């Protein structure tokens, strides 16, 4: 579903979004606030997402549980 | 034309000089007060408050203000509501001088009227209390008399039995003959009747007993209803007493004692017929008095209601008027030309507005002499003015609470709009809690107007002030909650997981099952929800959140450090770029930038599928050995790692001397060069403004400048422009050097400690997550494990408990703590990288600010 390219695609999206927000920010005395807020938010969110993505890209450990029951899981698979 | 005013830096300020005709001084200042963009300088700082021009007017207004406050207290006393200031529509129209006079006369009249009404009301009230007390005395004392009349014999006998009872001895001696005489006067016994507060009765008795040595007979009874004191409006419980004693002197003594103890004495007749008449009379007088009282009260109330309709607007007007005169007192008055001269800081972009406003005032007054606005050049540092709106205000307040930015330096308030709530959200990441916070903020924004007008307690008003911060914090928390995949500690399975459970064939219930990758794909958004409730969930999220906080911290610090470059370019000090920014940046990046690189690199390598597969290297050890034994690599992260690390380390080490010496030596070189060319920085005093007298050489230049404004327009030319920055200081190499040494040590150590400080993001987000898990398990988790009717009951009850605790502990308490941590990260970790903060705040003369600070309620 998602692989290493996602980071690059995400980056491209964010750059595009930043450019758009720079040029489409509402004119007037609050233009600077709009631009800075939109672009910074986008980058902050992207960084956060990218870090989470990278952390799970090649996970060193896998989830383990001891409270599983086979029937629960099989049932779920049937559905 | 000055650049557009944005939040990015302070607006361009100009020092302006206003020449105002004396006649319209008041109107001009009042109009400027409504504008609220002029920060007037005090030109009479050497004169005391009493010597200033408009002291008389201020005194008069003070008096009016006192009268208005008097009305307010009277209205409070009578609990008459005041019409709220928000119900007026024409609050902003400036009153004319004659209106003010009228108002002051009117309030004088009203004060007299209210005072006289009050006085008569109070006198009447006092009279009423006296009459009531008298009635009680008559009633109660009458009871004593009636009882005593039947018992005169007993009294006498009881006295006889007592050997040293002196009270009735002479009665005994010469009274035997007239035993039939049954009146007290016949026994030569006098009495005193009155009323005394109940809490004094014990002292009263004791004192009487001691002074009279027991020569008295006292009877008392409690008045069942409390009596209201007209002076204080307090209820006092009182007792009626009647004291019988023998002899005029003793009676006199008793009277004195009673009066000194605050008792009120009333005359009571011994004769029951007369007493009845007295009671009748008192009753009729009381009812007369009551009707008069009612009338007075009604008149007073009507008067106060009438005042209450306008009191708020009057108070506002007087407050504004007083502020106007206080500002006028800052102006300098030119006797010869009958003009007022003012100096004020004003945003350069608003000068046009100021001029047109002044023109309007002039036109309205029909004055031919125009008000002149001059821009003067000055070497004085202008105040810093970051224009905010209701959204940015609270964010700017965060920055201003730390310090006022230097004039036109980069204002950290702008990026803070995002970084502050985002760092908060990293610590507060939970979809559900974020929703609660957003909804609360939205509610406060929706009901902004009514909430602004109502009175709130301190905690709520703080939250209300930061409602837009809360909105941003809540929104980002929703986002980080989605990234963390937490909603009230439960998972959010939005996408199919990247893991699947694979049961071994010999699976027994209770065995541990390890998930396997579901193909090659990575979970596309945030944490995989399969990690929830697993055994090693904490192991994974611990490592993830720790690295997350290092990375976020690095981003934030690099971002902040870059502003110092922008500042150096803006102030045109290239030495700050080459002596501070570049070496600092290289130092920081070659150590912590490298760490960040290593983290990301390690994540991007699939260690178990390498050829040959090997264990991933520990980054902590890598960083430690990078310093301890440069060049030797135990666990390789990437080929060529050893030389790269050595080079980076050398770069970092080389930056330290550059950081340490470049700037001070460059400054010394500059200074010496200037000296060699014959420039002198010392003797060149610059006039700060034409009217400024606070220079030391004021005897030399002061007079000339004092005259200058009286002369022609060329007076402005007397002000020389200062080429160097601000008030010149002598160049002292040692001082610069010490400063730089401190800066270097601080910077290098702070790189380490600040990076470590960002680990609070890790600690707080983990704590928040674990706390919400525990809360769920302890409340709803228990309820869901029950079944039947108890299950339903428990679910309902525990749901409330869970919800209340979620709101108060997780949202309010945890939210406050996360907010404080985010605040610290901004003030210390980020702002120390670029913020100079030696600015002067811009404090314009503004009615809006004035009324906000001292609201009229």
Contact B574, B844 (CB under 8 A): no
- pLDDT, tens only, B624-652: 999 999 888 888 888 899 999 999 999 99
What was the pLDDT predicted at B180?
Answer: 39
Structural domain contains residue B128: no
Between CA B351 and CA A63 the distance in angstroms is 66
Does the pLDDT value for residue B708 go beyond 60? no
Virtual CA dihedral for B503, B508, B512, B513, nearest 10 degrees? 10
Structural domain contains residue B787: yes
Contact B117, B300 (CB under 8 A): yes
What was the pLDDT predicted at B692?
Answer: 47
Between CA B482 and CA A49 the distance in angstroms is 10
Contact B411, B399 (CB under 8 A): yes
**Interface contact B522-A47, CB threshold 8 A:** no
> What are the residues whose beta carbons fall under 8 Å from the beta carbon of B669, sequence distance 6 or more?
none
- pLDDT, tens only, B734-743: 999 999 999 9
DSSP structure string for B62-87: HHHHHHHHHHHHHHHHTTPPPPPGGG
- Residue B395 to residues B278, B458, B526, B850, Cα–Cα distance (Å): 76, 19, 28, 22
What was the pLDDT predicted at B149?
Answer: 66
Note the Cα B336 to chain centre separation in Å: 46
**Interface contact B512-A64, CB threshold 8 A:** yes
Between CA B608 and CA B54 the distance in angstroms is 85
CA distance to partner chain A, nearest, from residue B498 (Å)? 9
Pick from B147-161, B463-477, B556-570: least confident: B147-161
**Interface contact B533-A54, CB threshold 8 A:** no
Structural domain contains residue B608: yes
What is the pLDDT confidence band of residue B218, given thresholds at 50, 70 and 90?
Answer: confident
Neighbours of B32 (CB within 10 A): 27
Q: Are residues B397 and B274 in the same domain?
A: no
Q: Are residues B270 and B399 in the same domain?
A: no
Of B229, B245, B278, which marks where a domain is finished? B278
Q: Which domain holds residue B214?
A: 134-172+184-278
Between CA A46 and CA A15 the distance in angstroms is 10
For B195, the 3-state DSSP assignment is strand
Between CA B463 and CA B777 the distance in angstroms is 30
Domains held by chain B: number: 2
Structural domain contains residue B758: yes
**Interface contact A70-B503, CB threshold 8 A:** yes
* Strand ranges (E), B493-644: 499-501, 513-517
Pick from B452-466, B679-693, B725-739: least confident: B679-693
What was the pLDDT predicted at B141?
Answer: 77
Smallest CA–CA distance from A49 into chain B, residue: B526
**Interface contact B521-A33, CB threshold 8 A:** no
Pick from B367-381, B440-454, B826-840: least confident: B367-381
Does the pLDDT value for residue B25 go beyond 70? yes
Does the pLDDT value for residue B124 go beyond 50? yes
Of A4, A6, A47, the CB nearest to B555: A47
Q: What is the DSSP letter of B38?
A: B
Pick from B9-23, B91-105, B365-379, B644-658: least confident: B91-105
Neighbours of B832 (CB within 10 A): 15
Kindly list the residues from chain A whose CB atom is less than 8 angstroms away from the CB atom of residue B476: 41, 44
Does the pLDDT value for residue B147 go beyond 80? no
Virtual CA dihedral for B56, B60, B62, B66, nearest 10 degrees? 160
Q: Report which secondary-structure segment, H or E, holds B406.
A: none
pLDDT above 70 as % of chain B: 88
Between CA B550 and CA B552 the distance in angstroms is 6
**Interface contact B607-A60, CB threshold 8 A:** yes
In this predicted model, which residue has the larger pLDDT, B188 or B619?
B619
Does the pLDDT value for residue B164 go beyond 70? no
Q: Which of B501, B617, B758 to mutate to test the interface with A (most CBs of A within 10 A)?
A: B501
What was the pLDDT predicted at B693?
Answer: 45
Does the pLDDT value for residue B177 go beyond 60? no
Does the pLDDT value for residue B696 go beyond 80? no
How many residues appear in chain A?
Answer: 79
Phi-psi region of B533 (alpha: psi -120 to 50; beta: other; left: phi over 0): left
- pLDDT, tens only, A27-57: 988 999 999 999 999 999 999 999 999 999 9
Does the pLDDT value for residue B266 go beyond 90? no
Of B510, B540, B605, the CB nearest to A58: B605
> What are the residues whose beta carbons fall under 8 Å from the beta carbon of B853, sequence distance 6 or more?
none
Pick from B545-554, B693-702, B740-749, B767-776: least confident: B693-702
Pick from B71-75, B164-168, B387-391, B534-538: least confident: B164-168
Note the Cα B722 to chain centre separation in Å: 40
DSSP structure string for B270-335: SSHHHHHHHHHHHHHHHHHHHHHHHHHHHHHHHHHHHHHHHHHHHHHHHHHHHHHHHHHTTSEEET
Smallest CA–CA distance from B512 into chain A, residue: A66
DSSP structure string for B650-666: HHHHHHHHHHHHHHHHH
Structural domain contains residue B609: yes
> What are the residues whose beta carbons fall under 8 Å from the beta carbon of B736, sequence distance 6 or more?
B663, B664, B667, B668
- Please give the average per-residue pLDDT across B288-315, as a whole number: 88
Between CA B524 and CA B173 the distance in angstroms is 119
What was the pLDDT predicted at A76?
Answer: 53
Between CA B661 and CA B658 the distance in angstroms is 5
Between CA A52 and CA B426 the distance in angstroms is 12
Contact B228, B263 (CB under 8 A): no
What was the pLDDT predicted at B369?
Answer: 79
Q: Are residues B270 and B398 in the same domain?
A: no
Question: What is the ipTM metric for this complex?
Answer: 0.94
Mean pLDDT of all residues belonging to chain B: 84
**Interface contact B552-A51, CB threshold 8 A:** yes
pLDDT above 90 as % of chain B: 43
In the stretch 9-48 of chain A, residues with CB closer than 8 A to chain B read: 29-33, 36-37, 40-41, 44-45, 47-48
Does the pLDDT value for residue B766 go beyond 90? yes
Smallest CA–CA distance from B517 into chain A, residue: A62
Q: Treating both helix axes as pointing N-terminal to C-terminal, what angle do A31-57 and A5-24 enclose, rounded to 10 degrees?
A: 180
Structural domain contains residue B330: no
- pLDDT, tens only, B497-523: 999 888 888 888 888 889 998 888 899
Q: What is the CATH classification number for the domain harbouring B267?
A: 3.30.70.2750
Of A1, A6, A55, the CB nearest to B603: A55
Structural domain contains residue B248: yes
Structural domain contains residue B483: yes
Note the Cα B609 to chain centre separation in Å: 60
Kindly list the residues from chain A whose CB atom is less than 8 angstroms away from the CB atom of residue B551: 47, 51
**Interface contact A2-B523, CB threshold 8 A:** yes
- pLDDT, tens only, B286-299: 899 899 889 988 98
CA distance to partner chain B, nearest, from residue A5 (Å)? 11
């Amino acid at each position: 579903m998602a692989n290493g390219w996602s980071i690059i695609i995400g980056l491209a999206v964010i750059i595009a979004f930043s450019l758009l927000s720079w040029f489409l920010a509402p004119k007037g005395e609050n233009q600077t606030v709009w631009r800075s807020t939109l672009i910074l938010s986008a980058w902050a969110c992207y960084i956060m997402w990218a870090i989470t993505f990278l952390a799970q890209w090649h996970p060193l450990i896998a989830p383990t549980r001891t409270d599983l029951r086979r029937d629960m899981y099989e049932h779920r698979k049937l559905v | 034309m000055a650049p557009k005013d944005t939040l990015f830096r302070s607006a361009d300020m100009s020092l302006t000089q206003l020449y105002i005709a004396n006649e319209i001084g008041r109107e001009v200042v009042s109009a400027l007060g409504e504008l609220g963009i002029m920060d007037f300088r005090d030109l009479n700082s050497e004169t005391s408050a009493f010597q200033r021009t408009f002291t008389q007017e201020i005194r008069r207004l003070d008096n009016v203000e006192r009268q208005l406050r008097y009305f307010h207290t009277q209205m409070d006393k009578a609990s008459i509501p005041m019409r709220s200031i928000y119900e007026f529509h024409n609050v902003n129209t400036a009153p004319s001088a004659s209106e003010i006079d009228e108002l002051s006369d009117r309030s004088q009249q009203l004060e007299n009227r209210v005072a006289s009404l009050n006085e008569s009301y109070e006198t009447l009230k006092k009279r009423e209390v006296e009459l009531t007390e008298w009635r009680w005395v008559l009633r109660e004392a009458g009871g004593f008399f009636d009882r005593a009349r039947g018992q005169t014999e007993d009294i006498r006998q009881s006295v006889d039995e007592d050997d040293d009872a002196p009270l009735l001895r002479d009665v005994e001696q010469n009274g035997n003959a007239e035993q039939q005489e049954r009146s007290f006067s016949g026994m030569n016994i006098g009495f005193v009747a009155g009323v005394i507060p109940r809490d004094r009765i014990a002292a009263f008795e004791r004192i009487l007993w001691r002074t009279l040595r027991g020569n008295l007979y006292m009877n008392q009874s409690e008045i069942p209803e409390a009596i209201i004191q007209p002076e204080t409006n307090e209820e006092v419980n009182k007792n009626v007493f009647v004291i019988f004693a023998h002899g005029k002197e003793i009676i006199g003594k008793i009277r004195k004692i009673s009066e000194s103890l605050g008792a009120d004495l009333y005359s009571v007749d011994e004769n029951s017929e007369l007493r009845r008449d007295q009671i009748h009379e008192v009753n009729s007088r009381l009812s007369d008095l009551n009707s008069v009282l009612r009338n007075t009260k009604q008149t007073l109330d009507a008067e106060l209601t009438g005042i209450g309709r306008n009191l708020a607007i009057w108070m506002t007007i007087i407050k504004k008027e007083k502020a106007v005169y206080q500002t006028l007192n800052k102006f300098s008055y030119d006797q010869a030309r009958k003009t007022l001269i003012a100096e004020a800081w004003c945003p350069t972009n608003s000068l046009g507005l100021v001029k047109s406003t002044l023109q309007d005032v002039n036109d309205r007054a029909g004055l031919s002499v125009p008000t002149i606005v001059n821009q003067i050049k000055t070497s004085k540092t202008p105040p810093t003015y970051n224009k905010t709106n209701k959204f940015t205000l609270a964010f700017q307040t965060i920055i201003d609470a730390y310090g006022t930015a230097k004039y036109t330096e980069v204002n950290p308030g702008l990026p803070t709009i995002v970084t502050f709530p985002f760092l908060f959200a990293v610590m507060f990441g939970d979809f559900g809690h974020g929703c609660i916070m957003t909804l609360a903020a939205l509610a406060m924004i929706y009901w902004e107007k009514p909430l602004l007008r109502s009175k709130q307690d301190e905690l709520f008003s703080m939250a209300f002030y930061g409602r837009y911060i809360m909105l941003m914090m809540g929104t980002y928390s929703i986002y980080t909650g989605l990234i963390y995949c937490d909603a009230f500690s439960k998972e959010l399975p939005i996408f199919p997981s990247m893991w699947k459970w694979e049961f071994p064939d010999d699976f027994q219930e209770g065995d541990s099952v390890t998930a396997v990758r579901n193909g090659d794909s990575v979970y596309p958004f945030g944490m995989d929800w399969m990690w929830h409730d697993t055994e090693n969930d904490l192991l994974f999220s611990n490592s993830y959140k720790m690295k997350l906080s290092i990375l976020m911290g690095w981003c934030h610090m690099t971002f902040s450090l870059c502003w110092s470059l922008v500042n150096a370019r803006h102030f045109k000090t290239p030495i700050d770029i080459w002596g501070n920014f570049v070496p600092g940046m290289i130092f920081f990046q070659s150590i912590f930038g490298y760490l960040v690189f290593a983290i990301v690199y390690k994540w991007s390598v699939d260690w178990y599928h390498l050829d040959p597969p090997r264990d991933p290297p520990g980054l902590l050890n890598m960083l430690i050995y990078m310093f301890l034994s440069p060049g030797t690599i135990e666990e390789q992260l990437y080929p060529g790692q050893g030389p790269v690390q050595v080079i980076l380390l050398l770069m970092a080490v080389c930056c330290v001397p550059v950081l340490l010496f470049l700037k001070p030596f460059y400054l010394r070189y500059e200074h010496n060069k200037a000296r060699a060319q014959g420039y002198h920085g010392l003797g060149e005093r610059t006039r700060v403004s034409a009217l400024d007298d606070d220079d030391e050489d004021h005897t030399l230049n002061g007079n000339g400048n004092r005259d200058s404004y009286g002369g022609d327009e060329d007076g402005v030319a007397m002000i020389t422009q200062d080429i160097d920055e601000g008030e010149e200081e002598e160049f002292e190499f040692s001082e610069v050097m010490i400063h730089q040494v401190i800066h270097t040590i601080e910077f290098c150590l702070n790189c380490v400690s600040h990076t470590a400080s960002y680990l609070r993001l890790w600690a707080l987000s983990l704590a928040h997550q674990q706390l919400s898990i525990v809360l769920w398990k302890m409340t709803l988790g228990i309820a869901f494990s029950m079944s039947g009717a108890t299950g339903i009951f428990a679910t309902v009850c525990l749901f409330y408990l869970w919800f209340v605790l979620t709101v108060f502990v997780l949202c309010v308490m945890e939210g406050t703590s996360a907010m404080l941590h985010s605040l610290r990260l901004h003030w210390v970790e980020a702002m120390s990288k670029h913020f100079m903060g030696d600015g002067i705040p811009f404090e314009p003369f503004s009615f809006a600010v004035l009324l906000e600070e001292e609201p009229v309620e």
